[in-house]
Each structure stands twice: as structure tokens, then as C-alpha cells.
Structure 1
Amino acid sequence: MSFYKFVLSVFRLYSKVFYKYEVIGAENIPDEGNIILAANHKSNLDPIFVASAVKNRKVATIGKKELFNNKILAKILDKLCVIPIDRDNPSISTIKTILKKLKEGYAIGIFPEGTRVKGNAFGDAKAGLALFAIKGKANVIPISIISGYSLFNKVTIYIDKPISFEEYYKQKLSADDYERLSGDVLEVIKDNYYKK
């Protein structure tokens, strides 16, 4: 068993033992094709909950580069396919890494707000989500993580249908355009979050 699979099995066990963990809409994640998983971000547990929900694809999650300052943690994150990113200024090499992972069949995990936003509020979506989706010709799957994050309480992972940006593949888009399109995805995440 690979390190990735072993850790994922631990994540799933943790989610089931310590939370009333429920996944709705797992069938909306296709077995193949370029996809980006876009979820709200309110807790450090969110990457664990998202990865645990996806059983048919290997997930490469985008994480803030500061997490890689610790050498031991950096090695673990690397083995778990976490891609470091400068949230304020993503480099060309980071974008290339993300596009490469998409080509290799990974589902890319991203938090459109770029940082944690606690409580029931939401932040603004960053341009990166739509940029990666359009450059990588990937469908975006909105995921709403609905939880109070208290031990032994309910965690619902609501996975919606894929969103295609195909109509924009050949268009020249501005940073504002990318932000607007990312915001459209975040609106779906918010709607499902408040609905459930």
C-alpha cells in the first residue's frame, strides 16, 4: 500500500469515528477527465474531509507555501501530493505543476477563497480557480463542507455537478474575468452550504 493510500485510509477512519461523516453526490466525480474540486474552507480539517470523500481519483491539493517551511512536514505534504502556492502571487512554475498534475489524471483540490473563513461567512473567490480550470481545460466540481467541526457532530460533504468553462477556452480573459468566474463557482458552494 502506498503512503498516500495509507494516509487516506487513516483520514477516512478518523472522519467516520470522530464525526457523523456523510458524503452526498460522490457520483458527480467522474472516473476520468480533467477536474478541479473547489470547496469552502473553514477549518484545517477541510483537506482531510475532501480527500476522504473522493474514492475514485487521487487528489493533489493546493496548499499555502508557508506549510512547507517545516522540512519534515514538507516531506509528508509532498508524499500526499500537496502543491505549494504563494497565495498572493502564484508563480508560473506553480501553474505548470498544477496543469501537469491535471494531465497525469489527478483531481486538483482547491479552496477558492484562498484562506480559511470561519463561521457561516464566506470570503471573496480568487482568480486562481477559474485560471487553472480554463488553462487546464478542466471541469470544476463545487463541494460544500457543512459542519460545526465539533467532535462527534455531523459533517456533510455535498458534491455538486461539474461546471464547464469550455466556452472560455479560446477567449482572452482579464484577472477580473477569472475572479468573476471563480465567484460563480463559490456562489454554488454557498447556495448548497446554506441549503443543507
Structure 2
Amino acid sequence: MNSYKFVINIFKNFCKTFFKFRVIGAENIPNEGNIVIASNHKSNLDPIFIAAAIENREVAAIAKKELFNIKPLAFILKKLNVIPINREKPDISTIKNILKAIKDGYVLGIFPEGTRIKEPGFGEAKAGLSLFAIKGKAQVIPISIISNYKLFNRVTIYIDKPISLEEYYKVKLSTQDHEKIAQNVLEIIKENYYIHSK
């Protein structure tokens, strides 16, 4: 068993032990092909929930580079294929690493809002989701994490069907265009969140 699977099994056991963990739509993650998953983000537990929910592919998530300053954490993050990024100004090498991860068959995990939204509701989508999905010629899968994050309460991971952005592959897009495309995905995440929160 490789280190990724070992840690993911720990995550799964954690989720099933401490939460009423439920995944809807796992079949919507294809076994192959370029994929970016996009999810809402309210807690540090969200990456654990997502990793535990996806069983047929390895996820490579994007995380702020400051997390890698903590050496024990940096060791674990590297084992989990996490890619550090400067959220204010991503450099070219980081972008290349992200696109390489997609090409190499990893499912790229990204939070469209760019950071945790601690207050009720949702933030605004940043351009990154659209940029990486289009440059990586990847389908986008909206995922809604529905939880109050209290121990032993329900956590629902709702995985929607893949969205193709192929119509944009050969189009020159501005930052505003990418933000609008990412926001459209976030609206689906929000809609599913509210439907399955009931």
C-alpha cells in the first residue's frame, strides 16, 4: 500500500468514526480522464472529507504555501500530492506543476472561493478554477460539502456530474471571463448545497 492510500484509509476511518459520513454521486468521478473537482470551503476538515469521498482516483489538491512552513505537516502534504501555491501571485512553475498533475492522471482539487469562508453563505469565485480546468483540458466536477462540522453529526458530500469547458479551449479569455466561468460552477455547488441541506 502506498503512502497516499495509507493516509486516505486513516481519513476514511476518521470520517466514519466521528461523523455520520455520507457520499452521494461517487459514480460521477470517472476512472480516467482529466478532472478538476471544485468544492465549497468552510473548514480545515474539507480536504479530508473530499479525499475520503473519492475512492477510485488519487487527488492532488492545491494549498497555500504557508502550510509547508510547518515541517511535519509539509511531509504529510507532500505524501498526499498537495501542491503549494502563492494565492496572491502564483508563479509559472506552480502553474506548470498543477497542469502536470492533471496530465499525469491526478484529480485536481480546488476551492473556487480561494480560501475558507467562515461566515454563513458563500464567497465569490476566483479565476483559478476556470484557468486550470481549461488549460488542463479537464472536465469540472462540482462537489458540495454539507456539514455543521460538529462531531457525530451528518456530513454529506454531494458529487455532481462532470461539466465540459471544451467550448473555451481555443478562446482567449480575460481574468473576468475566468471568474465568471468559475462563478457558474460555484452557483451549481451552492444550489446542490441548499437542496441537500434540507
Structure 2 counterparts to residues 111-190 of structure 1, below 5 A: 111-190=111-190
**Percent identity between the two aligned chains:** 68
Q: What amino acid is the match of 1:34?
A: N
Q: What amino acid is the match of 2:35?
A: I
Counterpart secondary structure, 2:170: coil
How much has 1:73 moved relative to structure 2?
1.6
Structure 2 counterparts to residues 49-128 of structure 1, below 5 A: 49-128=49-128
Separation of aligned partners in 2, 1:110 and 1:139: 13
Gaps of at least 5 residues in structure 1 are: none
Separation of aligned partners in 2, 1:169 and 1:37: 18
Counterpart secondary structure, 1:43: coil
How much has 1:119 moved relative to structure 2?
4.3
Query: 1:157-185, CA deviations, whole angstroms, 9 ceiling, x for partnerless residues?
Result: 00001111100000000000000000000
How much has 1:71 moved relative to structure 2?
2.1
Query: 1:135-159, CA deviations, whole angstroms, 9 ceiling, x for partnerless residues?
Result: 0000000000000000000000000
Counterpart secondary structure, 2:22: strand
Counterpart secondary structure, 1:13: helix
Identify the range of structure 1 (66-75 vs 172-181) with the bigger mean alpha-carbon deviation. Answer: 66-75
Separation of aligned partners in 2, 1:20 and 1:12: 12
Gaps of at least 5 residues in structure 2 are: none
- Structure 1 runs (4+) deviating above 2 angstroms are none
Query: 1:104-152, CA deviations, whole angstroms, 9 ceiling, x for partnerless residues?
Result: 1000011110100124310110000000000000000000000000000
Counterpart secondary structure, 1:36: strand
1:26 aligns with 2:26: yes
Separation of aligned partners in 2, 1:133 and 1:157: 21
* Matched residue count: 196
Q: What amino acid is the match of 1:92?
A: I
Separation of aligned partners in 2, 1:182 and 1:147: 23
Counterpart secondary structure, 1:150: coil
Counterpart secondary structure, 2:186: helix
Q: Could you say which residue in structure 2 is the equivalent of 1:11?
A: 11
